[in-house]
Chain A
């Protein structure tokens, strides 16, 4: 079953604008990760936020985590055409199966030049 559910399913913006993607999940987590997938390629890890963290930055990326609402958001600032890709959130649970990454269906981001 899907743990993370991204919203929206697709997002189209102009270069230079900010892009915000959301992720909701259902169970207690150890951490939440965001990955990017360019068409026809493998997934690339972007950022990991632990359950005891609320916000994390990496370059133009900002991730927030609200464990009370079981939700996370990924903000890409000053978007570029090269940011066009699918973005997935993935959760790792606490407990025995903490190795398991459960992915959402992803958000397809298109950045128009």
Chain B
């Protein structure tokens, strides 16, 4: 298995632009998580999907952030409009069960100028 796949690996954009991050979870996993990692706040859970349905989006910082999971093999995290404080590494993770080991993708390093 290729593991969790994320794209792009790096994204540099200007303030106000729309940013879309993509994730392909491990085949057969029914739980998908989006995290954000910064030096100041560490790793934060943004949103959790189970069987493609958003279960917990309480970690989504603002209405500028949205996430979708149209099918079991694809999810997007969109920021519109982006701001410099959104600069961080965004990770997608998937798991077979809703509790237990999570498998992380390589992350997308986002820089908003």
A residues near B (Cβ < 8 Å) are 2, 30-31, 33, 35, 41-45, 48, 88, 92, 97-106
**B106 in contact with A41 (CB, 8 Å):** yes
Residue B31, interface by CB 8 Å: yes
Count how many chain B residues have C-beta atoms less than 8 Å from C-beta atoms of the other chain: 22
Give bound CA distance, A98 to B99, whole Å: 6
Shortest Cβ distance from A98 into B: residue = B99
**B106 in contact with A103 (CB, 8 Å):** no
Give bound CA distance, A98 to B48, whole Å: 12
Known: A98-B98, A98-B99. A104 touches B42 (CB 8 A): yes
Residue B113, interface by CB 8 Å: no
Known: A30-B99, A98-B98. A42 touches B45 (CB 8 A): no
Question: What is the distance, in angstroms, from B37's C-beta to the closest C-beta of chain A?
Answer: 9
Residue B55, interface by CB 8 Å: yes
**A92 in contact with B99 (CB, 8 Å):** yes
**Interface residues of A, dominant DSSP:** strand
> B66-103: which have CB < 8 Å to A?
91, 93, 98-103
Shortest Cβ distance from B101 into A: residue = A45
Known: A99-B56, A101-B45. A45 touches B103 (CB 8 A): yes
Residue B25, interface by CB 8 Å: no
Residue B104, interface by CB 8 Å: yes
Known: A41-B106, A97-B56. A2 touches B42 (CB 8 A): yes
B residues near A102, Cβ cutoff 8 Å: 45
A99 touches which one: B43, B48, B91 (CB < 8 A)?
Answer: B48
Question: What is the distance, in angstroms, from A41's C-beta to the closest C-beta of chain B?
Answer: 6
Give bound CA distance, A104 to B101, whole Å: 16
**A44 in contact with B98 (CB, 8 Å):** no
